[in-house]
């Protein structure tokens, strides 16, 4: 067996890659927020009908696929405004490792959060909102620092923990009108996403 030598990348190549990822993260964040706001404007104009039709209806097998639509719906303008800033911050940071990985991470979080809501919420309830994604990106950013072992990811994880660590209490039961199920399972989904999308060591 012989050693393989790969050509070293130039500084300009590294800067171009970082710039590309930065632009990709900005575009992904803009698209995500734009989709949420566009849907909510339509929902608001229809007096919340979209939430009732496409929110997660607990234990209703016909609406199980709504785990993919509910994150883009909100229970009013106050709801989406409260979610927009953390969604933009966490979403942007999560997307810095590449748009394709960001899409995979988002999908894992949606499935984990949505299934948690669908199984554990009270029958007859309808759940909407991007908070599952927010908690998922939060968990992903924290866990990424541990599984990637990159200095940037570790620094981001520490800063997120210091600035937003109290968010963890939102994943506990007991707050009326708040879906702790979406928060808790979104958080779990984010941690799983960090593991499943981590870099594989070269053989």
pLDDT in tens, 117-168: 999 999 989 999 999 999 999 999 999 988 988 898 999 999 999 999 899 8
Q: Are 160 and 107 in contact (CB under 8 A)?
A: no
If you write DSSP's letter for every residue of 80-126 in order, what string do you get? Answer: HHHHHHHHHHHHHHHHTT-HHHHHHHHHHHHHHHHHHHHHHSPTT-E
pLDDT at res. 202 = 37
If you write DSSP's letter for every residue of 64-76 in order, what string do you get? Answer: GGGGGTGGG--SS
Q: Which segments within the chain are labelled E, that is strand?
A: 56-57, 126-127
Domains observed in the chain: 14-196 (1.20.1540.10)
| Cα distances (Å, whole numbers) of residue 178 to 74, 123, 168 | 12, 15, 13
The residues facing 57 across adjacent strands are 126
Q: Are 64 and 118 in contact (CB under 8 A)?
A: yes
pTM: 0.89
pLDDT in tens, the chain (203 residues): 455 555 555 566 667 777 888 899 999 999 999 999 999 999 999 888 999 899 999 999 999 999 999 999 999 899 999 999 999 999 999 999 899 999 999 999 999 999 999 999 999 899 999 999 999 999 999 999 889 888 989 999 999 999 998 998 888 887 777 899 999 999 999 999 999 998 765 33
Query: d(Cα 27, Cα 25) in Å, to the nearest integer?
Result: 5
């Amino acid at each position: 067996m012989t050693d393989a030598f790969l050509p070293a990348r130039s500084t300009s190549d590294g800067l171009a890659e970082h710039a590309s990822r930065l632009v990709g993260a900005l575009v992904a964040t803009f698209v995500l927020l734009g989709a949420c706001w566009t849907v909510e404007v339509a929902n608001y104009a229809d007096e919340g009908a979209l939430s009732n039709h496409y929110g997660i209806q607990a234990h209703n097998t016909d609406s199980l696929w709504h785990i993919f639509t509910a994150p883009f719906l909100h229970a009013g303008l106050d709801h989406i405004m409260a979610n927009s800033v953390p969604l933009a911050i966490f979403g942007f940071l999560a997307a810095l490792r590449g748009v394709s990985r960001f899409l995979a991470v988002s999908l894992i979080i949606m499935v984990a959060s949505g299934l948690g809501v669908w199984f554990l919420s009270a029958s007859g309830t309808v759940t909407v909102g991007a908070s599952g994604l927010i908690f998922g990106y939060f968990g992903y950013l924290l866990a990424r620092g541990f599984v990637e072992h990159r200095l940037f990811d570790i620094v981001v994880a520490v800063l997120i923990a210091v600035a937003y660590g109290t968010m963890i209490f939102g994943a506990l039961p007991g707050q009326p009108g708040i879906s702790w199920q979406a928060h808790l399972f979104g958080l779990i989904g984010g941690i799983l996403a960090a593991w499943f999308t981590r870099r594989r060591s070269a053989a």
